[in-house]
Amino acid sequence: MGWTDKQVDYRIHDVNNNQERLVEGAKDLLALRPNIVVATGVVEAEAIFEAMKNTPPIPVVLIGVTSPSELELKNRFHASGIPVTGVDNGHVELTAKRIELLRELFPERQSVVVLYDPRLRASMLALQKANDAAQQFDWKIEPVPVQNDRDIANLRSRIFTKGESMLILPSYYLELKYKEIRDISFKTRTPVMGLYETETYAGYTASYGISYFDQGYQSARLVARMMTSKDNSDIPFEKPDVVQLKVNMKAIEQLDIAVSPIGMSYSEKIAVIRE
């Protein structure tokens, strides 16, 4: 946060992807009476909101949330008198650009299989953006719902053509299943565009968005502002300061497919696959 004259005590609560313990973990965190709370995702933000219903409001900064205004998340906090701001990761708004970049990178693959989670509002908003862009630019897309292990099994048995690629839409389930989707990509020799650079380091062909590091770096500025502002009740959410296209050259070697030099000119190259 850039402070050199203050002592900052950080308390990190991690429920290890156990969704059932989120609200309980949030209550444990609030019991410590921190000056400010940082939540790293929509489901975490929902847990903080639920846990704060019977406690005095504490300022909240949200990281890794998608379209907080359209999801009514911001309004719910404000209606309860809880000061809130954060970094909108831009996943919904970047959907059309991700399709465009996929087509630029792999011009022989003009059909995009769009993986989405029908349970999540953010995923459905992104799907609408994909449909709107497809209609506007005459792109061919095929939406495929993926919300459980059966859907992953169906995707694994799907026959992909040489003219197809895959696009991941926002979904904590799809984010958790990145290894399975990567392996499907390798097996079927189908390029896949993800949301985060960590997915690209793990073997996705490409990603376009803001990194976890950059979200945290940007949110630190908002934490400092929330804690020092005389009126922190209406500090606006920010769009990503930095979005980057990352392409994994090792993954492309694994797929043994052609990639466009023009598309690559927009990218930062990665040359490793991490488990």
pLDDT band for position 15 (cuts 50, 70, 90) = confident
Mean pLDDT of the residues in the chain: 92
Look at 4 and 190; give whichever has higher pLDDT: 190
> Closest Cα partner for 227 from 8, 4, 56?
8
Q: What is the pLDDT of residue 19?
A: 75
Reading the block at residue 104, the tokens are 């630029």
pLDDT in tens, 170-227: 998 999 999 999 999 999 999 999 999 999 999 999 999 999 999 999 999 999 999 9
Q: What is the pLDDT of residue 167?
A: 98
Reading the block at residue 43, the tokens are 């489901």
Mean pLDDT of 160-165: 96
pLDDT at 70 over 80: no
pLDDT band for position 4 (cuts 50, 70, 90) = low
pLDDT band for position 269 (cuts 50, 70, 90) = very high
pLDDT band for position 11 (cuts 50, 70, 90) = confident
- Do the domains spanning 19-89+211-228 and 95-209+243-270 agree at the CATH topology level? yes
pLDDT at 74 over 80: yes
Report whether 189 contacts 257 (CB < 8 A): yes
pLDDT at 1 over 60: no
pLDDT at 275 over 80: no
Q: What is the pLDDT of residue 3?
A: 60
pLDDT in tens, 105-149: 999 999 999 999 999 989 999 999 999 999 999 999 999 999 999
Look at 12 and 165; give whichever has higher pLDDT: 165
Stretch among 6-10, 37-41, 187-191, 219-223 having the lowest mean pLDDT: 6-10
Boundaries of every domain in the chain: 19-89+211-228, 95-209+243-270
State percent of the chain over pLDDT 70.
98
pLDDT in tens, 227-250: 988 888 889 999 999 999 999 999
- At the topology level of CATH, where does 95-209+243-270 sit? Rossmann fold (3.40.50)
Q: Between 3.40.50.1100, 2.102.10.10, 3.90.1150.10, 3.30.70.260, what CATH number should domain 19-89+211-228 receive?
A: 3.40.50.1100
Q: What is the pLDDT of residue 7?
A: 76
pLDDT at 53 over 80: yes
Look at 117 and 71; give whichever has higher pLDDT: 117
